[in-house]
Chain A
Amino acid sequence: MTTRDDILNCIRGHIDASGVSTKPTEALPVRTLVRSSRDDMIREFAQQLESVAGCCHCVQTHDEAAEVLRTIVAEGSGGTLARSSEPRVVQLVEQALGSTEVATDSSPREVLLDCAVGVTTAPLGIAEHGTIVMPSGDADLGRERTRLVALLPLAHVAILRASDLVGTISEALSRLPSLGADDRPLPPTVTFATGPSRTADIQQELVLGVHGPHAQHVILLTHD
């Protein structure tokens, strides 16, 4: 018998011996927010993100978005900017920085490790926590590669459309299968990020910025 069968038999044997049998639980209906108009969700998202030291920039136009990005880059330490290859990101970075040299999602990781700012989109946002949800990307399907650009630079800027906001984690989980493809519903990795990276491992003192980004910006396009 293989170890696998051994373990499974052992489990079944003990469960039978205990005489406990429980009917499988049923899935609960998707949980939603009480106040879930678009304005409510924008307000909630911004407030929650700020409460965990993230920065939410609500903008109405792409010009405003470019202006915000320019400011973030100017405030940064002046290192290189990295961007994904998603057309909306490419366009915004060009509009904000013109022909400045940038790194991309296909740059070597040594380059990305030294970048100051990384720009990607977030295809989903969760209002109740100020969370952005990022699939790792799938080159086969032409899906944006967010994995390293959103992780390695010191600051991450995510572009989020208000129409992609959902109220709760429960709603976000129910939307995940739409981020993959028919035959493989979930992408290899989905990252939920809420504010910058943090630790309190030294005497319970909160420090922002450890291995992940030190700053988390979300440019929220309120009219998209």
Chain B
Amino acid sequence: MSERGSIHHLKATDFSELYPSALTNVELRGALAFGTKLVSNRRDNTVAAVDDWQDLRDRASSIKTDVLSNLDQYLQVFEQQAQASGTHVHWASTPAEACSIITGLAEAQGAKLAVKSKSMVSEEIGLNQALEESGVRPVETDLGEWIVQIAGETPSHIVAPALHRSREDVRELFARVLGRPMPEDAEGLTEVARLELRQAFADADIGISGANFLVAETGSFLILENEGNIRMTTSLPRMHIALVGIEKVLPRLSDLDVFLRVIGRSGTGQRLTSYQTLVTGPRRTSDDDGPDEVHVVLLDNGRSSLLAEEVTSQTLGCIRCGACLNTCPVYRQIGGHAYGSVYPGPIGSILTPQLAGLHQASQLPFASSLCGACRDVCPVKIDIPEVLLHLRAKSVADGPRVRDAVTHQKIRRQVGGFKMWSWAMRSPRRYRMAGRVARVMAWMATRLPFIGRCSGPLRGWTKGRVLPTPPRRSFRAQMARRKQSGTPGGGASS
């Protein structure tokens, strides 16, 4: 049985090195602050205009709970219905299996060129590399995804892959890669990309996409977009392959209503994205347009193991809208690449360690202030802080084998700190004594800056902050004085 999955190019164990370099990258932080605030403001405005928003979230969440607790049944209905409409259904436990199914299909077609529309699952399994190795050239056709592909990067955001790049950045990139002068404006640059990709669409042998939702009742799948590249990808090549996580199934066609009402608003602040493409099988006669063959590859890659506990299972309700990234105070500062995973941000911090194993990404559940903004915006009501805490507890309880070196050190330090705290909190006398010691130490640290800034357990905290000067007397001492002098409510504080 395949329990644990894996994520392509995962380097989340480098988190402690990746995020500081993101924090000192002024251009990156400018692009991030601008992009994330703009999109989350748009999201807030469109959501505020919906009277029954909380009802919609409840409904979306209860459908997802239903799906996840009956997942095997819905998948079997989907398979049966899809096959009845002529769609081929494939199952893959691991990324290697999914890649070999797809490259096998490509080889059977004698395919040389594949046009792709943005799919995070394809990033998760490293499909582009597998295609290249089997002699098929993959061309990303979503503008943001094409930008990161020609830059040799990975997406930094699950909805807006090139969020980390400024317009000037993109202009320089296009000029360098295409070897000619480029227009200054976004419109001109978009037109350049359109013309470059038009030929690829016309020549491609295969179209590869993800899917936002599978519909069990009809055996269909729905793909959302704004640019039209998905319509092209699903219309022009002879073969269309959709690569989808097993958790994406919905019971009925009519369920799409509630999900379409929440996903556009949450993701980009649009009431509805420009296009939704509902695919139910290949073309039926040679007189029709569209692909001769439609394939769906259902990928597990560790997902099913999340079903074992209610707290972890909710992670699979995610519809990849990206709202939690845009609102997260951590993501807004460090961006997607710092997480070292194709799934960044709050959802990535719970998804990555659960898919790939906690030991592969043990720092990520700690990369959060637990402020709860992600939970508040999540359209399917995933309690991300709850899962973060669950994973933190697991990395303490399960011991060193589930931690990387950085997490291990951090946990040992914290455990030590909390032991002291617990000792001090057990009697008033100990508490007083500990308070006195702490005040003296804090006083020394503020007078002798080298103590507070470069050494000891406070190093991480004081690197970017100045310690506040402690008051001369503790709160308890002040209260005692006040009582003595008989001036309740009055008196100076120092």
20 more contacts with CB within 8 A, not counting A25-B63, A192-B277, are A3-B91, A4-B91, A10-B1, A10-B2, A18-B309, A30-B254, A109-B236, A129-B271, A151-B235, A184-B284, A188-B279, A188-B281, A188-B294, A189-B234, A200-B226, A203-B31, A204-B39, A207-B186, A211-B141, A212-B275
- Residue A90 lies at the interface, judged by CB distance under 8 Å to chain B: no
Taking A10-B304, A151-B232, A198-B274 as contacts, is the C-beta distance between A20 and B256 under 8 angstroms? no
Taking A169-B257, A170-B257, A212-B231 as contacts, is the C-beta distance between A201 and B304 under 8 angstroms? no
Residues of chain A contacted by B161 (CB below 8 angstroms): 201
Give the residues from 142 to 199 in chain A that come closer than 8 angstroms, CB to CB, to chain B. 145, 147-148, 151, 168-170, 173-174, 176, 184-199
Chain A, residues 1-35, CB within 8 Å of chain B (1/0): the string is 01110111111101101101111110110110000
Is there an interface contact between A27 and B231, defined as CB atoms closer than 8 Å? no
- Residue B347 lies at the interface, judged by CB distance under 8 Å to chain A: no
Cα A189 to Cα B258 with chains together (Å) = 21
Is there an interface contact between B308 and A14, defined as CB atoms closer than 8 Å? yes
Q: Interface stretch among A37-45, A63-71, A94-102, A131-139?
A: A131-139
Question: Which A residues contact B (CB, under 8 angstroms)?
Answer: 2-4, 6-12, 14-15, 17-18, 20-25, 27-28, 30-31, 52, 105, 109-110, 113, 129, 131, 136-140, 145, 147-148, 151, 168-170, 173-174, 176, 184-205, 207, 209-213
Taking A3-B97, A27-B254, A147-B289 as contacts, is the C-beta distance between A188 and B280 under 8 angstroms? yes
Neighbour of B66 across the interface among A25, A196, A209, CB < 8 A:
A25
Chain B, residues 252-279, CB within 8 Å of chain A (1/0): the string is 1111111011000000100111111111
Q: Which one of B93, B231, B258, B300 has the highest number of Cβ atoms from chain A below 10 Å of its Cβ?
A: B231
Q: How many residues of B contact A (CB 8 A)?
A: 101
Cα A201 to Cα B198 with chains together (Å) = 18
Neighbour of A198 across the interface among B170, B227, B305, CB < 8 A:
B227
Taking A129-B271, A207-B187 as contacts, is the C-beta distance between A8 and B144 under 8 angstroms? no
- Residue B282 lies at the interface, judged by CB distance under 8 Å to chain A: yes
30 contacts between A and B (CB under 8 A): A6-B1, A7-B246, A7-B298, A9-B1, A10-B305, A18-B308, A28-B258, A109-B236, A136-B283, A137-B289, A139-B288, A145-B287, A176-B253, A185-B218, A188-B85, A191-B276, A191-B277, A194-B275, A198-B274, A199-B144, A199-B227, A200-B160, A201-B142, A203-B35, A207-B186, A210-B143, A210-B228, A212-B227, A212-B229, A213-B228
Q: Is the interface of A mostly helix, strand, loop or mixed?
A: loop
Q: Which one of B76, B162, B256 has the highest number of Cβ atoms from chain A below 10 Å of its Cβ?
A: B256
Residues of chain A contacted by B274 (CB below 8 angstroms): 52, 193-198, 212
Is there an interface contact between A193 and B305, defined as CB atoms closer than 8 Å? no
Residues of chain B contacted by A198 (CB below 8 angstroms): 226-227, 274
Q: Interface stretch among B8-16, B189-197, B384-392, B466-474?
A: B189-197
Chain B, residues 290-314, CB within 8 Å of chain A (1/0): the string is 1000100010100011111110010
Is there an interface contact between B252 and A203, defined as CB atoms closer than 8 Å? no
Cα A168 to Cα B277 with chains together (Å) = 17
**Measured between C-beta atoms, what is the minimum distance from A152 to chain B in Å?**
8
Cα A193 to Cα B310 with chains together (Å) = 38
Cα A182 to Cα B271 with chains together (Å) = 33
Is there an interface contact between A205 and B93, defined as CB atoms closer than 8 Å? no
Q: Which one of A28, A105, A202, A212 has the highest number of Cβ atoms from chain B below 10 Å of its Cβ?
A: A202
Q: Which one of B186, B189, B252 has the highest number of Cβ atoms from chain A below 10 Å of its Cβ?
A: B186
Is there an interface contact between B35 and A204, defined as CB atoms closer than 8 Å? yes
Taking A186-B278, A210-B194 as contacts, is the C-beta distance between A197 and B226 under 8 angstroms? yes
Question: Which B residues contact A (CB, under 8 angstroms)?
Answer: 1-3, 31, 34-35, 38-39, 59, 62-63, 65-66, 68-72, 75-76, 85, 91-93, 97, 141-144, 147, 160-163, 165-167, 170, 186-187, 189-190, 193-194, 197-198, 201-202, 218, 220, 226-229, 231-232, 234-236, 246, 251-258, 260-261, 268, 271-285, 287-290, 294, 298, 300, 304-310, 313
Is there an interface contact between B285 and A211, defined as CB atoms closer than 8 Å? no
Neighbour of B162 across the interface among A136, A169, A202, A213, CB < 8 A:
A202
Is there an interface contact between B189 and A202, defined as CB atoms closer than 8 Å? yes
Cα A17 to Cα B3 with chains together (Å) = 14
Taking A136-B290, A186-B278, A197-B226 as contacts, is the C-beta distance between A27 and B71 under 8 angstroms? no
Is there an interface contact between A204 and B63, defined as CB atoms closer than 8 Å? no
Residues of chain A contacted by B163 (CB below 8 angstroms): 204
Residues of chain A contacted by B254 (CB below 8 angstroms): 27-28, 30, 170, 173-174
Considering the complex, give the chain A residue whose CB is closest to the CB of B286. A139
**Measured between C-beta atoms, what is the minimum distance from A79 to chain B in Å?**
14
Cα A92 to Cα B272 with chains together (Å) = 31
Is there an interface contact between A202 and B236, defined as CB atoms closer than 8 Å? no
Is there an interface contact between B275 and A8, defined as CB atoms closer than 8 Å? no
Residues of chain B contacted by A201 (CB below 8 angstroms): 142-144, 147, 160-162, 190
Cα A187 to Cα B283 with chains together (Å) = 9
Taking A189-B234, A191-B231 as contacts, is the C-beta distance between A197 and B308 under 8 angstroms? no
Cα A28 to Cα B56 with chains together (Å) = 12
Residues of chain B contacted by A138 (CB below 8 angstroms): 284-285, 288
Cα A198 to Cα B274 with chains together (Å) = 7
Cα A221 to Cα B290 with chains together (Å) = 29
Cα A18 to Cα B76 with chains together (Å) = 21
**Measured between C-beta atoms, what is the minimum distance from B335 to chain A in Å?**
14
**Measured between C-beta atoms, what is the minimum distance from A195 to chain B in Å?**
6
**Measured between C-beta atoms, what is the minimum distance from B1 to chain A in Å?**
5
Neighbour of B307 across the interface among A15, A139, A209, CB < 8 A:
A15
Cα A136 to Cα B235 with chains together (Å) = 9
Neighbour of B275 across the interface among A15, A113, A191, A205, CB < 8 A:
A191
**Measured between C-beta atoms, what is the minimum distance from A209 to chain B in Å?**
8
Neighbour of B93 across the interface among A3, A173, A204, CB < 8 A:
A3
